[in-house]
Amino acid sequence: MRLALTALIATFLHVTSGLAASKPEVEAQFRAWLANDLWPEAKAQGISKAVFEQAFSGVTLNFDLPDLVMPGEKPQTPKEQRQSEFGSPGKYFNDKTVNAVTSGGAARVGQYAKILKAVESKYGVPGPIVLAIWGRESGYGSVKIPYNAFTVLGTKAFLATRKDMFRKELLAALQIVEKGYIGVASMKSSWAGALGQPQFMPTSYLEHAVDFDGDGKRDIWNSVPDTLGSIGHYLAQYGWQRGRDWGYEVSVPQNVSCSLEGPDRGKPFAAWAKLGIARVNGKPFPASETNREGFLLMPAGRHGPAFVVTKNFYVIKEYNMSDLYALFIGHVGDRIGNGAKGFSAGWGDVGGLYRSDIAGLQKVLEKKGYDAGGADGFPGFKTRRSIGDWQMKQGLPATCFPDKDLVKAIR
């Protein structure tokens, strides 16, 4: 029966596929999809009809959300990438944002000292790291989270380029209400469907949110203890190593290739030191790290600061799959926790390429036999080190970061 209903909806969509459907037509398709496609799966997962109807009562598609594909249209890779994680690296660390999250965290260290101590005791995650994430995600709860989660997730599950992922999140959101964790009216999300002050996707909420204030609810919208405890639990679940730092800013000699970076090219800290890599503050790496694995990180290649990071850096990255995000959290955590200053090395004026330019560069690199991590338009570590390897083979100085001249030269 489910297959027949799905086929009926597919036929309906196909009829209008010669021409982009009008918004009223798409709304009608959406209502049919909710009733005939989503509801049978939700019911099979234990969602009651009452919860399902309450969740979608009055819900209509939000056509203003990004990355939507109307029936009858083909997906288009955006020329530009608007998310700050993928723009110019230096802009991600602008003084206004860094200072706001730092000062906000410093002001809350004493205010929430007891809760933060309890979070660290239970999960091993230092308070400054938890605060930095809270501040980055929701401005310590001050940022408005205005959207109806079922509107956002419903729209994206029906029209987004990643329908399957958002369908899973939509079903998880229904589970949250079904289990009584929060009411439908309180299910507010970001434009991407992330929930509450820690900005958890619904599947992450089910897996990682905790009741840290003991009131019987996992309320990441209104409860500070639940928010802080849930962030700590999230990082612990992904393998946070108690007692280790996230990483250290370092100087990398010119004779050490920037193509050595990446989580799959780790070396003991002693080995990095033997190569001449040293902390910029002149202190040695902690003795406890001597034989433990560290990883070279150069998020702007030779155009910015360099780091040797621990596995905890990659645990932070599980929160948001961006090197710049994880570095921001670690760095601001240091500022909150011990008054650290800015990076020793500055950020170069790079990162102004279109996402489509970088995707084209990645395709060329992969045709030449390099593993650029796919042609997604994001200059991740595999792209950066592939650039460095190519540059060295051409007898060029390795910079390990894309720029306009490189795009022209490599083609």
Confirm if 72 and 16 have CB atoms less than 8 A apart.
Answer: yes
In this model, does residue 355 exceed pLDDT 60? Answer: yes
In this model, does residue 5 exceed pLDDT 90? Answer: no
Cα–Cα nearest to 207, from 240, 228, 235: 235
Q: How far apart are CA 264 and CA 260, in angstroms?
A: 9
pLDDT of residue 19: 52
For every residue of 223-261, DSSP letters joined together read -HHHHHHHHHHHHHHTT--TT--SEEEEE--TTS-GGG-
pLDDT of residue 73: 74
Q: Can you name the residues that pair with 308 across neighbouring β-strands?
A: 248, 296
In this model, does residue 255 exceed pLDDT 70? Answer: yes
Confirm if 138 and 197 have CB atoms less than 8 A apart.
Answer: yes
In this model, does residue 9 exceed pLDDT 60? Answer: no
Give residue limits of the domains in the chain.
247-338, 355-410
> How confident is the model over 271-326, as pLDDT tens digits?
999 999 999 999 999 999 999 999 999 999 999 999 999 999 999 999 999 999 99
Dihedral sign for Cα atoms in the order 167, 165, 82, 231: positive
- Which residues 6+ apart lie within 8 Å of 408 measured at CB? none
